[in-house]
Structure 1
């Protein structure tokens, strides 16, 4: 005799009511990846050093640095990378066409305290130059400013610089689609809530759509990892940001110094750094907020031996954070672009063959020794999608190896399909 289910419609309705709040919370607080492109790096310069050709100038300087060391292929070989010829071709194209993906004009540590009159003038001039660069097609895809922090001594100066910059930029037409605002040295959720309020006020003043202004938070203080009440503010601030927090950025040196780590040991790979970034990684999971590593201050300058050593260190650190699921970092010097792109492109190209085969098998239901589930298929597709976004993988390679078009790749990568069957062609 076949058993019959015993739960009736009333039981189901009761469960629906019990979990309604959970459903709303998950939908609102953990919407997942919305497909917004994440740059692989952020380059930053003092705000008054920016000009309309800066991105191209950095690309040219990077190519010159590579040429002086025997060329991109020779550097790739010295780093122990594979596919050196192809890497050199692709990185050369990138440095000539889009050498900087994300640029921050700095009014904080890189600018310093110069007096109100000078910073006022710099803020307005920076906005005019950004507007001209965007209009002329010479600006990176993402560009913006880092203003001073919201702690008491610099709060009014930070707000004035932000106000002047946005007011001047708005006077030159619509805001750039890739505009990025960086709030540094955040210590409390209240500072993020204050930034939300300021964004709302600026949107009203400039006739911008609600939610148009978003900002990234730099995690440079231990108070964001563990607060005085034992909570984790780096997780809370994302949700307190009301959808305006676009990314969390780890600040290598301020954070290390705040823990009392000696200068010689301050590094992106210090155990304290790994712990902080692991907490941040859990905080952003499922929220759609991006995560970025910090920078290394060991620059490829000086003797050939010093340059080679700095490139080897930078390449290793870039690869390290990519392998740990952190897809962005900070660069401080044009010559670091050489290893930023060589290491990043190598990461994606090294893993592409296996990822494409597994995704092809999954989509086309080809039997193999690896049985991938929908979550793994999304991870495979995201990996390939990120590789294409930065220029490491071409559409032709993706189609040939993965057996799918870019549209389907994007759908799987961004979790628009929910079941294994829906992913199949």
Structure 2
């Protein structure tokens, strides 16, 4: 299985092209140059939440990430990001997006993880949603390219397990008809309705939704704004920090723990978009206002990403290329700030050959050893940590590649 991306970047299907990821990286790099050109300015932009000791490293790694791999996961959106368009326009967008994905496969320009979001399978839009899915996969099959590994279809606004099952059955049929490998297309679920959290009989609905995917479910995403809006939360209070979102995250974690299904937090909907834009140069006063707006949005996004990471969600959503700056600043600072303590604990524990140990005032056993190992694996995968920094854990590169703390201990004991 491919590594879990740190984010999902969503973009309208009508805009998707084979080089979209690179374009987003260039746009994000422009924001970094204009509004955080040096480590000190980035630290100030994030409300001085970024420790001065790591600001230089974070700034350099953010810039390198935007140049090397600015997007880890991208969603070609036929729902909210697509807007209200005619049937003919959606037909055309589905076919065009498929051709662009195939071209991206050939060019090697696609992000590591890719998928599409169709419309919901409600009575109103289910025909449209399934038609878009069929048009996309049919157009892609004609290119004779292999679908990107881990390609997924995201199902939004779920209210019953039968909707998930219907999508799974449709994929079974399309894979057979089009000659695609069996079970190649995964299903992601967007949890953004009360019914997708709590079933009519009062039971937690999530295990049933995952089961209805017939083994295809890979990631479950929290849709914070639809969820809070559906229970009457006022628009100004609809944030990722709302207590309802905290509860929903905990339900996701508790009900899906140990299933292998990945979890993803939602998006920050306050975007770092300058109020003064256009072909003419902005005045000095307008430039100051632009910077203030961008910095305020970055601070909020940085805070949301760090909260997600602290709560155990290593993936969430981005809606604008400028958010890539605050996204990677948050991810990289999280790992760099925790590096010394995690390296000391893991090195001491491995040296003790898996015997439970006390590091300072922290007691570690094999379960926490796997958690520490995951810290380094995720830091390496995202580009937050270098191989040299990961080596401070006391593990070799070969041991890290096993991804299993139990296996590492067994080998050392052997």
TM over 0.5: yes
**C-alpha distance in 1 between matches for 2:208 and 2:88:** 37
**C-alpha distance in 1 between matches for 2:410 and 2:10:** 45
Look up the match of 2:399.
Answer: 408
Cα deviation, 1:31-71, whole Å, max 9, x if unaligned, reads xxxx5311000111110111222211111111111111241
Look up the match of 1:8.
Answer: none
Look up the match of 1:291.
Answer: 263
Deviation (angstroms), 1:417:
2.8
The one of 361, 365, 377 aligned to 1:373: 365
Look up the match of 1:160.
Answer: 131
Look up the match of 2:63.
Answer: 92
**C-alpha distance in 2 between matches for 1:306 and 1:336:** 13
Higher-Rg structure is 1
The alignment partner of 1:359 has SS state of: helix
Deviation (angstroms), 1:356:
1.5
Deviation (angstroms), 1:410:
3.6
**C-alpha distance in 2 between matches for 1:415 and 1:180:** 29
The alignment partner of 1:126 has SS state of: helix
**C-alpha distance in 1 between matches for 2:11 and 2:208:** 30
The one of 1, 17, 29 aligned to 1:51: 17
In the TM superposition, structure 1's runs of 4+ consecutive aligned residues that sit over 4 Å from their partners are 420-425
Aligned residues: 388
**C-alpha distance in 2 between matches for 1:105 and 1:147:** 9
Contact 2:187 2:213 in 1 (8 A): no
Look up the match of 2:39.
Answer: 73
**C-alpha distance in 2 between matches for 1:187 and 1:407:** 45
Classify 1:142/1:388 alpha carbon distance in 2 versus 1 (closer, same or farther; 3 Å): same
The one of 183, 189, 197 aligned to 1:217: 189
Look up the match of 2:207.
Answer: 235
Deviation (angstroms), 1:194:
1.2
Check if 1:396 corresponds to 2:368: no
Check if 1:315 corresponds to 2:281: no
Contact 2:221 2:264 in 1 (8 A): yes
**C-alpha distance in 2 between matches for 1:397 and 1:385:** 11
Classify 1:364/1:60 alpha carbon distance in 2 versus 1 (closer, same or farther; 3 Å): same
Classify 1:241/1:70 alpha carbon distance in 2 versus 1 (closer, same or farther; 3 Å): closer
Deviation (angstroms), 1:416:
5.5
The alignment partner of 2:407 has SS state of: coil
Q: Equivalences for 1:99-248 in 2 at 5 Å?
A: 99-172=70-143, 173-248=145-220
**C-alpha distance in 2 between matches for 1:294 and 1:416:** 32
Cα deviation, 1:132-176, whole Å, max 9, x if unaligned, reads 112111111111211101001000100000011111112221111
**C-alpha distance in 1 between matches for 2:38 and 2:252:** 34
Contact 1:235 1:283 in 2 (8 A): yes
Contact 1:365 1:424 in 2 (8 A): no
Look up the match of 1:342.
Answer: 329
Deviation (angstroms), 1:208:
2.6
Q: List alignment gaps of at least 5 residues for structure 2.
A: 275-289
Contact 1:249 1:291 in 2 (8 A): yes
